[in-house]
Structure formats: C-alpha cells, structure tokens
Amino acid sequence: MYLKEFQEGIVDQAVQFHNTLNPDLWDNKRLRPEIRYKLMLIAQHFANFIDIPKLNLRDITISGSNAAYTYTEHSDLDLHLIVDIPKAAEFHLKPLFDAKKNQYNYNHDIRIKGIDVELYVQPSADPHVSAGIYSVLDDKWIKEPKPVRVEIRDGDVETKVENYLNKIKRALRSQDHQEASKIKDEIAKLRKSGLASTGEFGVENIAFKVLRAQGWIDKLRQHIYDLEDMALSLKERK
C-alpha cells in the first residue's frame, strides 16, 4: 500500500550513501576546528542548563549519519554528553536527564551549517549503536566509520512507516496526554529494539528517520506538549 504522504524514494529521505564525510563538518576525516569549537560551546551551554553540581562528564561525542557516510539533507547532528551515573542514582537521574534533554531541544533551535543539533545525555554504561562516533572533547575518532553500500528494500520500510504513521495519527487525534505519550514511547522502544537487533540500517530505524524527516515525530512531540499545557491550564470564567 503506497503512502500518499511520501514521495517515491522513501529510503533516500532517511539514508544516502556517500564516499566522503559531510564536507560542511569534516576536513580529511577531522572535525573542522570552527565546528568543534561551536559544539564545545553548545555542550557547555547544555551542561549549564542541566544544572547538576556533579555531572560526572566523561566525554562529548557526535554520532549518527553526520558522523558517517550516510547523511542526507534531513540528517541532524547528534551531540552526546557522556556521563557516569552511579547505580544508586539511576532511578532518579535518567528520567531527569531525559526531561532536561527534551526541554532543551524544544526550547532551542541550534544549527551548525544549517544542520539541526540534537542534544542528548548518554550514560557511559549504555551501549550506543552508530557507524561512527567522534570525541569532540579529545578531537579524535572513538569509532571511525567506513563507506558502505547496503541494499534497503523500500517496500519493507514503507510497511514499517505506515505502521508507525498509523500510531502517530492515532496519537494526534487523541486528547488524552497519557495515551499520546504511551504511543510515543512505544515507537521509541520499537526503534531501540530494532537498532539492537538489526543495526542502523534495519527497517525500524530507517522508518523512524523517514518520519522524522517528514516532520511527523516533531508533530507528535508538539501535540504531547500541547496536551500537557491544556491539562495544567484553567479556562477563564465566561
């Protein structure tokens, strides 16, 4: 079944294969100095926003398509603060970091050479699946990517996109904050499990990227924020 919301070449919206890294960011496989400087400033700004006395910062990294050979015009730049989280504090700190990350990314529209920068807090003990991982702090590769060519079937991705899109549309029709949030969490879990089992070229991850490129993920997040605002508001007396 073809999705009317998308044009032909559905996979190309999420992943393209190149022989070189994004030249706006990289020079001979090294992060351009002016890019690194700005990313360090952004990371510091985000750390100040988190406002935790002992953040236990281990590293600052970038990953994802723009740290590999699979970037598109829709690819963002994933900037991770790698932190040590004591076992006893995981229950409290992980939800706090997620909330801070969501709030920061919602409040700020930061771009590097026109590329959206997305901030994350990543526990150092958690595995991170990415073709390339670069330490902005140490200015060197942790995991250097290689040019690849992978056959991805549009039909498989289209089926998964349709599945996710139906869930998102159901959430957008809902006026129940808990229901909409549950759907968002469900999609995130499906993507995470897909990454763990089939990697970044699995249909779950590609489908998520297609929906993000088309703005559906942002629509879902905004709808949840709007429902939160409604729940916390009180109508004026007529």
95-152 pLDDT, tens digit each: 899 889 988 998 899 999 999 999 999 999 988 888 899 999 999 999 999 998 888 8
Of 173, 141, 178, the closest CA to residue 30 belongs to 141
Of 177, 185, 80, 73, the closest CA to residue 128 belongs to 80
pLDDT at 1: 40
The least confident of 25-29, 165-169, 200-204, 224-228 is: 200-204
Query: Beta-carbon neighbour count of residue 152 at 10 Å?
Result: 16
pLDDT at 2: 41
pTM over 0.85: no
23-55 pLDDT, tens digit each: 999 999 999 999 999 999 999 999 999 998 889
Of 187, 220, 223, 210, the closest CA to residue 3 belongs to 210
pLDDT at 94: 87
All domains of the chain, ordered by start, with CATH? 18-143 (3.30.460), 154-232 (no CATH)
pLDDT band at 214; cut points 50, 70, 90: confident
**CA separation for the pair 71, 21 (Å, rounded):** 8
**CA separation for the pair 17, 219 (Å, rounded):** 28
